[in-house]
Structure 1
Amino acid sequence: MDDYEIFDTIGNGTYGKVYKAKVKNTGQIVAIKKAKLERDEDGIAATTLREISLLRMLSQNLNIVRLLDVKHLKCNDGRLFVCLIFEYVDCDLRDYIDKLSKTKMPQMLIKVFIVLQSFMYQLFKGVSYCHGHGVIHRDLKPQNILVDKTRGLLKLADFGLGRSFFLPVGALTHNVMTLWYRAPEVLLGVVQYSIPVDIWSLGCIFAEMSRMTPLFRGDSEIGQLLCIFRQLGTPTEDMWPGVSKSRNWHSYPEWKPQKLSLVVPDMEPSGVDLLSNMLDYDPAKRISAKEAMQHPYFDDLDKSQY
């Protein structure tokens, strides 16, 4: 790592630390994600291996963070590390939303700058690219979406929970996605799920960008389900065939659906329609990322810039 000059720690999560650094001989600013290997016999963590392999395939896309290099290091004290070298992006969507909400910028001014439309279109573009290459992200949330403010670009990041759905795998784990962005089929313990879980997460992010606060804020899995049911109505077999046979299904209060437009009052009707298609209970009916890019909500967006 003598090739790099470390400036600061910019992240500290479950899977390691992230540093801002400079490549000494070029001056390029990069982000270095360091994952510690606890013992030699453990090898590289599955999440790190998965992230490396998926990003090798995906990161040429403009809306996915670029993996520049991978380093395998051994410190003087014998500790082993794997370092992932990424392009540096100075802001994530969580920080961006927080700062935007504090400016109290009128919604019409946000519309003029096409922030919401532009950001959602780019998110669909990045997710469509992942899905087209057989990859479910499984952890889409504002903290895992980077914002290049200078160029107005959004980039998907943190593929540690990503999975290829082209591989013959059994039931997928349900301990994925931050609770507030977790799809109802995952919360209900459906044995097999697929790319619609990413669309649900994007729907939660879409609503959050419009209202400047998360849409469903549960404090537990059951609490999250109840938050969803209160807003969208308790699902029935007519709404979602097979839901009552889900592993975690119980006798829930029978709430009626509320109008989505009431929780996103500044969103135009075509946006509310798109949102409702993203938050469909039935995964089979949920709009795909590719279909969403053709939705009338984006009709007045200059797509050529992307």
Structure 2
Amino acid sequence: MTLKDFIEKSDRHFQREGLKSIPDISKDFFTSAISKTPYVNRFGTNVYEKEWDVLVILDACRLDLYRETINGDADTIWSVGSSSEEWMQHTFGNADTTGTAYITGNIFSREYLDENHFYALEEVWEYGWDDDEGTIPPRPLTNEAVRTWRQETPERMIIHYMQPHFPAIGSDVNIGGKIEKAKFGDPGRDFWLEMRLGSISDKDAWRAYRDNLEYVFEEVELLMENVTGTVAITADHGNAFGEWGAYGHPAGYPIPQLRRVPWDVYDCTDERTFTTTEPEKYEATATEVEDRLYDLGYM
């Protein structure tokens, strides 16, 4: 985040919340400064150093959650960031991406990426966003990824699902509507605050987190049935549940719960179990982008 970006973001935050925004603004300044230190920048494995044809990104998926829920024998790498912004900057800023199709549900693509540097940059969040859920469900991403891999000729493809990042739209855990089927926004930030205060139990939060991973992994399995090639599954970063005093996924934190992520590889063949559809596409307005980032708890 540049100084100009920080000032603009802080101003928007202050206009929305007044003096209540000061702690978050201070945290943004602190974590942004940490993330620019040389040690943090060069720490971790860039996914472009690994072998894969199709790369699945599960947003905010911890290694221990993945091993507990999906594959206990999954390998691991250290991520190049503890937040999506950091991961995008340190992944795509240090690699040749001209042969990569990036199919993303993560809104930070607009802020940090240039479509001219990719074979294709498909920002599915622009037209696949669900306002009722406060996030983008996985199916629009699966649809676009299968269509792209079958009909176009990228050398590599990355699919960036937003789950298991909260809200846990795949869970029925009742914790006051602060994660399941609630927009992020203030409820998203309040969720981590409530965890700090002990109002939401670690057990309930973890169950919702796990349910959300199981939910998105059904789509990952569908994807793997409908592409041919080496498919690797990983995450941009994890989530902290109070370890080292951290909650969520602030930038610049080199702790294992945030930087150690799964690396799970499969050889896949397109079995044609899924028929793609042509979605109605449109470009989100600047106001919609700002509102969605706010829903996600980033503004």
TM range (shorter): under 0.3
Please state which structure has a larger fraction of its residues in helix: 2
Higher relative CO (Cα under 8 Å, sequence separation at least 6) belongs to 2
Structure with max Cα Rg:
1
